Amino acid sequence: MAGKRKDSGSVRVGDGTVTVAGWVQEVRNLGGISFIVLRDGAGEIQLTLPKKKIEPGLFEALTTLHRESAIEVTGEVKESKQTALGLEIIPSSFKIHSEAGAPLPLGVVDKVNAEMDTRLNHRTLDLRKPEARAVFQIKGLVFELLSEACQSLGFVNVNTPKLVSSGAEGGATLFGVDYFGRPAYLAQSPQLYKQMLMATGLERVYEIGPAFRAEPSNTNRHVTEFISFDGEMSWIESQDDVMDAIEEIMDHVFRGVSERGAEHLGALGVELGIPSRPYPKLTYEECLSLVREAGLDLADGDDLGTEGEKIIGDHMASKGVDMYWIVEYPEEAKPFYIMAKEGTPYSYSFDLDYKGQEISSGGQREHRIDVLEGRMRDKGLDPAEFDFYLEAFRFGMPPHGGWGIGVERLVTKMLGLPNVREAILFPRDLTRLTP
């Protein structure tokens, strides 16, 4: 706190005195002397109150404050060998901005861990914990690094609609909205729109924005609203061009977090390894064989699922590999817009897995309108309902491909968090709509 920032919102320095503002973290009364630990977003500082040297009314008011009250204190700075900052403040005046209620529903510095529901129900208190805030300081850095990497590769930042007339993939994972008497949905992906942009001359685009999935999954890795990092690029020769771009971006993110986020990683006790490039490639068939050997009974075409991904992750970890590709998924398991690998049951598709969990999915898209409409019909979709999308394919659509990455899943795995909700300020899931 003091000594780190001067004349900021929480520290103001004058002649021989300093004014600090923050939350009352701890009050210790030891008879003839009392101590208060004051905390703001930058750190902690000790207020020292010798009873014989402090005006009685001021001493009484300060030492009876409830924990987490927001106050402002002016006093004299003294050197101290007993404090982490090497100084303390002897108060001469103070102001209460807001007194905290008692008892606290959630301890900010208490050693007893609170349950996830308690933390999320009282999220603003929870975020006063340095380690909780560090997650979001790193997440903010990840957003910054994603944008830096994309712009260095010639991508343009775009924004697509979040109120849509149809889903990107069909199915029942859509949240319905009454749009002035017409049915509409919250966007589950920018997929259709970023593909449409490939016909415009905006040859490389990316978007970082919210996505919504009405999936009835109540696990530590599923939520109904999340931040998706999507990219699309045209004039590709194969999906390898897309995968190369993702590797460049991920490498920039991991190196940037390791270097520029070192302080926040330290607060979390995380030693971040940078995945070695190039990331190895496994085919779906190879993965299927590995999980079957491990005793997981999967049929051809089945999704690898959480258990299968973990088996593959453990196998790759034994080889010293954290980040790797899984390619050539069965065509039947992929959405209509993924290009089939002609003459085979497979597709030009990939997942990027990190330590046993999928964090990205993508591939080469089908740009030939006749084939695209046929794939829609094969998957039970009516092309007429996607006419706004198909319009872009009628007048010259270049070969293209892209990806989607769940940012919170990436951050969760990167930091070793047990639950994706820890990487979301105010999560939304099957049961949570507030705060």
**204, 347, 361, 373: the active-site residue:** 361
Average pLDDT over residues 110-134: 92
Superfamily of domain 124-423: Bira Bifunctional Protein; Domain 2 (3.30.930.10)
Write down the pLDDT at residue 4.
41
Q: How far apart are CA 28 and CA 37, in angstroms?
A: 9
Q: How far apart are CA 139 and CA 352, in angstroms?
A: 19
Residue with tokens 């070793």: 416
What type of residue sits at position 320? G
Position 3 pLDDT exceeds 60:
no
Q: Which segments of the chain belong to CATH 3.30.930.10?
A: 124-423
**Is 368 one of the annotated active-site residues of the chain?**
no
Region of residue 269 (phi > 0: left; psi between -120 and 50: alpha; otherwise: beta): left
Task: Tell me if 184 sits within 8 A of 209, measured CB to CB.
Answer: no
**309, 409, 421, 422: the active-site residue:** 409
Rg (CA), the chain: 27
**Is 204 one of the annotated active-site residues of the chain?**
no
What string of DSSP letters covers 368-410?
-HHHHHHHHHHTT--GGGGHHHHGGGTT----EEEEEEEHHHH
Q: Chain centroid to CA 28: how far? A: 38
Nearest-5° Cα angle at 380, 375 to 383: 60
What percentage of the chain has pLDDT greater than the value 70?
Answer: 95
Average pLDDT over residues 119-130: 95
Write down the pLDDT at residue 17.
87
Q: How far apart are CA 283 and CA 328, in angstroms?
A: 6
**Is 409 one of the annotated active-site residues of the chain?**
yes
Structure tokens at 223: 């939520």
Structure tokens at 200: 């415009």
Task: Tell me if 77 sits within 8 A of 14, measured CB to CB.
Answer: no
Write down the pLDDT at residue 10.
66
Write down the pLDDT at residue 361.
96
Residue with tokens 């590797």: 247
pLDDT range class, residue 1, cuts 50, 70, 90 = low
**215, 225, 248, 307: the active-site residue:** 215
Q: Summarize pLDDT for 221-243 with one digit per residue, the tens.
A: 889 999 999 999 999 999 999 99
Q: Which segments of the chain belong to CATH 2.40.50.140?
A: 11-98
**68, 88, 207, 358: the active-site residue:** 358
Q: How many CB atoms lie within 10 A of CB 103?
A: 9
Write down the pLDDT at residue 61.
95
Write down the pLDDT at residue 421.
97
**Is 331 one of the annotated active-site residues of the chain?**
no
Stated length of the chain: 435
- Which segment of 20-34, 98-112, 157-171, 249-263 scores lowest on mean pLDDT? 157-171
**222, 260, 292, 428: the active-site residue:** 222
Write down the pLDDT at residue 31.
83
Write down the pLDDT at residue 81.
80
Superfamily of domain 11-98: Nucleic acid-binding proteins (2.40.50.140)
What string of DSSP letters covers 283-315?
EHHHHHHHHHHTT----TT---HHHHHHHHHHH
332: CB partners within 8 A, 6+ apart: 301, 345
348: CB partners within 8 A, 6+ apart: 238, 239, 328, 338, 339, 340, 341, 363, 364, 401
**221, 252, 260, 432: the active-site residue:** 221
| DSSP structure class, residue 3 | T
Q: Summarize pLDDT for 420-433 with one digit per residue, the tens.
A: 999 999 999 999 99
**39, 67, 119, 213: the active-site residue:** 213
Q: How far apart are CA 183 and CA 39, in angstroms?
A: 50
**Is 361 one of the annotated active-site residues of the chain?**
yes
